[in-house]
Structure 1
Amino acid sequence: MLPPQGDAVDAINPSVELTESERIDRLRLIRSDNVGPRTFYSLVDHFGTARAALERLPDLARRGGAQRSGRICSADEAKAELAASRKFGIAWRAPGEDGYPARLATLDDAPPLLAVRGDTKTLMRPMIAIVGSRNASGAGLKFAGQLARELGEAGFVVISGLARGVDQAAHRTSVESGTIAVLAGGHDCIYPPEHGDLLAAILDQSGAAISEMPLGHEPRARDFPRRNRLISGASLGVVVVEAAHRSGSLITARMAAEQGREVFAVPGSPLDPRAAGTNDLIKQGATLVTEAADIINAVAPIMERPVMHPAGEPDSEPFEHDPQGHDRDQITGLLGPAPISIDDLVRMSGASPAIVRTVLLELELAGRLERHGGGLVSLL
């Protein structure tokens, strides 16, 4: 079992503290067109600072074939967003700063800045994710609440997505012990809307809410998988209570496996379609869960290891300053709508990894490239 509540902390080194100008530059870069988290880190690793990367965006996009430069977030826009966030009680934290979950910071697509509201101490404690069906059975809701309560008593924070069904049951039962809601939209765009009172209770009882989206951002369908990666990434493991085939909870489980997190599944009746996904997870090797002890025993060895390698460490492979035209044409010619691995591009093109990485960065900033999980890319 873990030490008493509040004593267990996910620690990560080194600790950092951004200056206000660095925070503005980071926000400008991640809010600029065609810059996602992975691209953000590649740019900062290569050019040294977010400000230096901002200066190079137009040239890189032009080299990638952009007909016109994408929008670059201005300093005034970034300052206005930070000011509005403060009025809402939101702090924007970077990986390594206090209040940024340590395990989330290890992802290669960790948010460069995370909008945090609530108790930052709770965000630094070890977390277990509980997710599942929005139309869960009564038994599923009861068991999700039971797991959340027992995990809270053992010193864990329960993290989930504030959705109806299993998420809601997990949050409500762990309000007093500490729970974290991960939002798909901005902090002022709660989904579903009727869970505003639940979020208020979470924040009133030493819980927290996190999002990577700006205020005013209404969640769209594509935002929920992005949110799910934060749920799994911040946790030691993900427990799926009930999930039908093609459930969003199975996306969270898949992301957890890709991120090296533990995957747990609660078995259900073969006659209930809401258990089909969880039963399949068990067949695929997920740890079967019938009580909280199954989870606690599985993550205990992980708890003994320090959290290492935060996002944003310098890349081992540099970029090429200016790839030759024939290299660019050859690499672009190998790309298509079907995802291909970057390793395959290096092998097939005969170009160095540095050249391939640079060409892909140019194409992405030009809005012509899509990145997928597992180091796969495709041409838009």
Structure 2
Amino acid sequence: MTLSAGERLARLRLARTDRVGPVAFRQLLQRFGSAEAAVDAWPRLTARAGAASPLCETDRVQAELEAGEAIGGRLLIVGDPDYPAALAAVDPPPPVLWGLGNATLLTARPCIAVVGARVASAGGLRIARGLAAQLGAAGWTVVSGLARGVDGAAHEGALETGTVAVLGGGVDDVYPPEHADLHRRLAQQGCVVSERPPGARAQAQDFPRRNRIISGLSRGVIVVEAELRSGSLITARLAAEQGREVFAVPGSPLDPRSRGTNDLIRNGAALCEGLEDVQRAFSTLRTLFEPQADSPDFQEPDDALIEQLAALLSPTPTPRDELARAVGAPAGAVAAALLELSLEGRATLLAGGLVSS
């Protein structure tokens, strides 16, 4: 069912409100049934929290919508029928995405990611470009991060068949500068996506979230060259946590750029020397992505419960169910109290039902 214009606007307002991350966003929808109802309830919800973030103003999101329209962007909101099903099944999904270019590439064909070293060898670039071209010809949409090295080569290889670049900044944030022409061609022939507003410049904290979207869109992640401390290995780890297949191209033990990929294989990743290895792993493309079921029966918490839970939190992530047992309160009341603590900035809601201070 298509979201109404009012619900889309309300969801964007919630997504752009400080302290409303993907987990809090999902719980607000679960607690109130819709974003419009959550917006209406915001004054009451935050009445106890003197330090709670104000709700993002309508003027600010209207300006974002106008900026996106001006560059030809398309806003995809979780709950829309055209929001990618694979990403919607991630725990939790990004509330909103901007797309620039052919957004049907996100849903029309299965996606697979090709990522790797920024300072790649000539051989690594050749493998990434050739493998991406083979995957595209075989019916895959190739996803990568538009970074130097392997990412750029993967986009080049799949440009004719369909490729998606996920950015840390807004969809109009061209980085690195030498990829300006590739970015332009992707916006014309492929698709550029980001959860940041148009005009936003990438910050360091944006790249792990970008990597999570790369793996979340994809049914598998192929790593071509990566050192042991590499962002590509973060993407591979996220893919494994999301239940995606992880592939790694083996390399010489004498090359530091192969140590990460060789270690992935050592720890269970599928060896990938070409398209045949990918096809063997995916004997069928009828993968079903089911949204995560995490919908507690929210109950109104009291001040005493909120303070009890605040005292139990620490920087170490703790399961929400464990906190409920510790205070002897119903799970729904604990979930509501933790949501309010997160809006105050006194708790951080994490994927998998975990909470930290």
Q: TM-score, length-normalised on structure 2?
A: 0.94
- 1:108 has 2:87 as partner: no
- Residue 304 (structure 2) aligns with: 326
Checking the alignment, whether the CA contact within 8 Å between 2:225 and 2:258 is kept in structure 1 is yes
Matches for 1:301-340 after TM superposition, within 5 Å: 301=284, 303-309=285-291, 315-321=294-300, 323-340=301-318
Counterpart pick for 2:36 among 46, 51, 60: 51
- Residue 237 (structure 1) aligns with: 220
* Amino acid in structure 2 at the alignment position of 1:172: E
Checking the alignment, whether the CA contact within 8 Å between 1:131 and 1:238 is kept in structure 2 is yes
- Residue 348 (structure 1) aligns with: 326
Summarize the Cα distance change of 1:68–1:330 in structure 2 as closer, same or farther, 3 Å threshold. Answer: closer
Kindly report the root-mean-square deviation, in angstroms, between the aligned alpha carbons of the 2 structures. Answer: 1.7
Checking the alignment, whether the CA contact within 8 Å between 2:169 and 2:202 is kept in structure 1 is yes
- 1:218 has 2:197 as partner: no
* Amino acid in structure 2 at the alignment position of 1:319: F
**How many percent of aligned residue pairs carry the same amino acid?**
50
- Alpha-carbon distance in 1 for matches of 2:79, 2:283: 23
Checking the alignment, whether the CA contact within 8 Å between 1:318 and 1:354 is kept in structure 2 is yes
SS of equivalent residue, structure 2 residue 67 = helix
- Residue 185 (structure 2) aligns with: 201
- Alpha-carbon distance in 1 for matches of 2:75, 2:287: 28
* Higher relative contact order (Cα pairs below 8 Å, separated by 6+ residues): 1
Deviates more, 1:48-57 or 1:230-239: 48-57
Checking the alignment, whether the CA contact within 8 Å between 1:60 and 1:365 is kept in structure 2 is no
- Alpha-carbon distance in 2 for matches of 1:347, 1:279: 43
Any unmatched runs of 5+ in structure 1?
A: 1-15
Q: State the Cα deviation string for residues 77-116 of structure 1 (Å, max 9, x = none).
A: 2222112211111111123535422211111321222111
- Residue 264 (structure 1) aligns with: 247
* Amino acid in structure 1 at the alignment position of 2:341: L
User: Segments of 4+ in structure 1 off by > 6 A?
Assistant: none
- Residue 28 (structure 1) aligns with: 13
- Residue 176 (structure 1) aligns with: 160
Alignment length (residue pairs): 356
Matches for 1:84-95 after TM superposition, within 5 Å: 84-95=67-78
- Residue 70 (structure 1) aligns with: 53
- Alpha-carbon distance in 2 for matches of 1:265, 1:375: 30
Deviates more, 1:151-160 or 1:331-340: 331-340
Checking the alignment, whether the CA contact within 8 Å between 2:23 and 2:351 is kept in structure 1 is no
* Amino acid in structure 1 at the alignment position of 2:239: A
Counterpart pick for 1:294 among 277, 289, 307: 277
SS of equivalent residue, structure 2 residue 283 = helix
- Alpha-carbon distance in 2 for matches of 1:91, 1:113: 11
Checking the alignment, whether the CA contact within 8 Å between 1:161 and 1:167 is kept in structure 2 is yes
Summarize the Cα distance change of 1:221–1:252 in structure 2 as closer, same or farther, 3 Å threshold. Answer: same
Checking the alignment, whether the CA contact within 8 Å between 2:167 and 2:194 is kept in structure 1 is yes
- Residue 170 (structure 2) aligns with: 186
Deviation at 1:306, TM superposition (A): 3.3
Checking the alignment, whether the CA contact within 8 Å between 1:127 and 1:156 is kept in structure 2 is yes
Summarize the Cα distance change of 1:233–1:358 in structure 2 as closer, same or farther, 3 Å threshold. Answer: same
Q: TM-score, length-normalised on structure 1?
A: 0.89
Checking the alignment, whether the CA contact within 8 Å between 1:160 and 1:182 is kept in structure 2 is yes
Counterpart pick for 1:40 among 20, 25, 28: 25
Q: State the Cα deviation string for residues 314-352 of structure 1 (Å, max 9, x = none).
A: x4421111x233322322221112222223222333222
- Alpha-carbon distance in 2 for matches of 1:99, 1:171: 23
- 1:133 has 2:117 as partner: yes
Checking the alignment, whether the CA contact within 8 Å between 1:25 and 1:50 is kept in structure 2 is yes
- Residue 9 (structure 1) aligns with: none
